[in-house]
Amino acid sequence: MSQINSAAIEALRSRLKNATIYTPDSEGYKKSLIRWSDTGTKYAGIVVQPVDAADISAALLWAQENSLDLAVKGGGHSTAGTSSSDGGLVIDLSRMNQVTVDVAKKIITAQGGATWKEVDEAGAVHGLAAVGGTVNHTGVGGLTLGGGYGWLSGQYGLTIDNLLSATVVLADGNIVTASATENTDLFWGLRGAGYNFGVVVDFTYQAYEQKDPVFSGILGYTPDKLEEIMDALNESLANPDARFGAMCIFALGPEGAEPMVLVLGFFNGSHEEGEEKFASFTALKPVLNTLDMIPYSMVNTLQNPQATYGDRKSFKGIFYEPPLDPKFARTIFNDFMAKIQAEEDLTNSAIILEFTDMRKICEVPLTATALASRNPTQNGIIYLRWTDPSRDLEHRAWARGIQAKWKVELDARTKHQGGESNVPQYINYAEPGDSVVNNIYGGNLERLQGIKAKYDPTNVFHKMQPIPMGASVDEKQ
Residues with pLDDT less than 70, the chain? 1-2, 255-256, 419-421, 470-477
Paired residues of 208 in beta bridges: 129
Give the pLDDT of residue 433: 74
Give the pLDDT of residue 476: 34
Residue 305 sits in the same domain as residue 348:
yes
Give the pLDDT of residue 477: 32
The CATH number assigned to the domain holding 131 equals: 3.30.465.10
Give the pLDDT of residue 101: 98
Residue 230 sits in the same domain as residue 365:
yes
The CATH number assigned to the domain holding 396 equals: 3.40.462.20
Residue 179 sits in the same domain as residue 300:
no
Q: How would DSSP label each residue in 225-258?
A: GHHHHHHHHHHHHHS--TTEEEEEEEEE-GGG-S
pLDDT tens, 360-381? 999 999 999 999 999 999 999 9
Give the pLDDT of residue 420: 66
Residue 82 sits in the same domain as residue 67:
yes
Residue 53 sits in the same domain as residue 28:
yes
Residue 160 sits in the same domain as residue 184:
yes
* 102: in domain: no
* 183: in domain: yes
Paired residues of 294 in beta bridges: 214
Residue 61 sits in the same domain as residue 197:
no
Residue 238 sits in the same domain as residue 300:
yes
Final residue in a domain of this structure, among 95, 126, 141: 95
Residue 223 sits in the same domain as residue 331:
yes
* 101: in domain: no
Residue 56 sits in the same domain as residue 129:
no
CB 150 within 8 A of CB 132: yes
Give the pLDDT of residue 3: 83
Give the pLDDT of residue 2: 60
Domain count, the chain: 4
* 437: in domain: no
Residue 420: CB atoms within 10 Å: 12
Structural domain span for residue 65: 6-95
* 84: in domain: yes
Exposed, middle or buried, 164 (CB in 10 Å: 0-12/13-18/19+)? Answer: middle
Pairing of strands 244-252, 288-289: unpaired
The CATH number assigned to the domain holding 60 equals: 3.30.43.10
Residue 26: CB atoms within 10 Å: 14
* 66: in domain: yes
Phi-psi region of 400 (alpha: psi -120 to 50; beta: other; left: phi over 0): alpha
Give the pLDDT of residue 256: 63
* 438: in domain: no
Residue 41 sits in the same domain as residue 119:
no
Give the pLDDT of residue 421: 64
* 255: in domain: yes
Final residue in a domain of this structure, among 37, 69, 95: 95
Final residue in a domain of this structure, among 192, 209, 226: 209
CB 215 within 8 A of CB 270: yes
Residue 272 sits in the same domain as residue 367:
yes
